[in-house]
Structure 1
Amino acid sequence: MASFAAAAAPIPLYNVYRAEDAFTNAGISMAVVAYAFGTIAPLSMLGRLSNQLSSRLSAVTSLGLLLLGRLLSLNVHAVDIPLAGRLPVGVGIGFAKNEARMYMIEITADMEAIIKQAILSFVATVNEDGTPNLSPKASLTVTNGVLYFADIASPRTILNLKRNPAVEINVVDIFQRRGYRFKGRALILPPDDAESLMIANWVRETNGPEYPVDHVVKIEATSITPLLSPAHVFAQPPRDQNEIRSTYYQKYGVKPIGA
């Protein structure tokens, strides 16, 4: 909110600039264009960089750019000053909008249920040479609407995330033939962090005290999309979820508990 308020603060001064410094409408328009270009940059051209920064670093970057823009605009007597000042303000707002977009992404009850039922998920990271690294995880969990997983035996995943926090997680219930794809950035929590201790304790309570938890990773999701098998999309006539589940129980040769 502070970022958006700071960005809007100089707008009422445009009429003052026209009256006292003979600014033209064209000059004011150019300042608006500079601001708009700056806003778009982090959301498009700099989107990858924005997504790789932590939330705290993105916020600091946004506020720093806003401060720079305001400092450049302290003594406005020529049109090039607001032009120079509005560009970093726009970039700062772009970073702020990217952060706001992330906080609007919600982990729903159905997503949480799929994660619990599937048990196994697959975490994709990027190796140093650009090739993909895919690591199975049985520790993916949702707590207070946030995704976490534990590093129990995944040194390559952690090494990759330290270099590049971009991550994708796929989780599919093999009997329902559906699931979700989570994309975002990973934050490796300090071992004494409260969230890290919470997840580490959950892993040990679930699996046993002998399980090592070397790291806990928190996922800041930037997009979530559903995954559906062809059984949901192409079957004619369409099949409901119960029919699909029953079919794949038979294919895997299993029965639900209590059946």
Structure 2
Amino acid sequence: MKDFVADQRLAYLATVCPDGSPNLSPKGLTFVLDDRRMVIGEVRSPASIYNLGFQPIAELNVVDRNLRKGYRFKGACIVHTSGKEFDLLTEFLRSKGFSAYSPYTHRAAPV
């Protein structure tokens, strides 16, 4: 599963709007952090950020459209905008070859 996620460049994050309706947004920087957490760098969707502040749960779908195979991850989410955890996650993304363009890093657990 970790290798599968590592090979994909696109995932979809589903959050819940305050009125209970779904919000689905594509995400390009999705990684497995460890056995219990995923990291999404650059969550640029203001609606996703707002929804996670309102209700900090989400589902992340990682799909290989050519194989028509994928995985769903559900769990609690934290949006980091600064601090020690933000710095650690930013460094993790840099170690994967990506620079941080946005003040947001998202973490979801469990995997």
Give 1:183 deviation, angstroms: 1.0
Partner residue, 1:160: 51
**Distance in 1 between the 2:41 and 2:47 partners?**
13
Partner residue, 1:135: 25
Residue deviations 1:138-175, cap 9 Å, x none? 11111232211123422211110000012011111123
- What TM-score, normalized by structure 1, do the two folds share? 0.38
1:213 aligns to 2:89 (yes or no): no
Number of aligned positions between the proteins:
109
**Distance in 2 between the 1:175 and 1:220 partners?**
27
Letter of the aligned partner of 1:156 in structure 2? A
Q: Percent identity?
A: 30
Matches within 5 A, 1:1-259: 111-145=1-35, 146-189=37-80, 191-194=82-85, 196-204=86-94, 206-208=97-99, 211-221=100-110
Give 1:125 deviation, angstroms: 0.3
Letter of the aligned partner of 2:71 in structure 1? Y
Alignment gaps of 5+ in structure 2: none
Residue deviations 1:60-114, cap 9 Å, x none? xxxxxxxxxxxxxxxxxxxxxxxxxxxxxxxxxxxxxxxxxxxxxxxxxxx2111
Cα-Cα RMSD: 2.0
Give 1:188 deviation, angstroms: 1.9
Q: Is contact 2:43–2:106 with CA below 8 Å preserved after alignment?
A: no
**Distance in 2 between the 1:198 and 1:179 partners?**
28
Give 1:202 deviation, angstroms: 4.2
Give 1 or 2: higher helix fraction. Answer: 1
**Distance in 2 between the 1:116 and 1:184 partners?**
19
Give 1:190 deviation, angstroms: 5.0
- What TM-score, normalized by structure 2, do the two folds share? 0.82
**Distance in 2 between the 1:113 and 1:175 partners?**
16
SS at the partner of 1:130? coil
Q: Is contact 1:166–1:185 with CA below 8 Å preserved after alignment?
A: yes
**Distance in 1 between the 2:2 and 2:38 partners?**
9
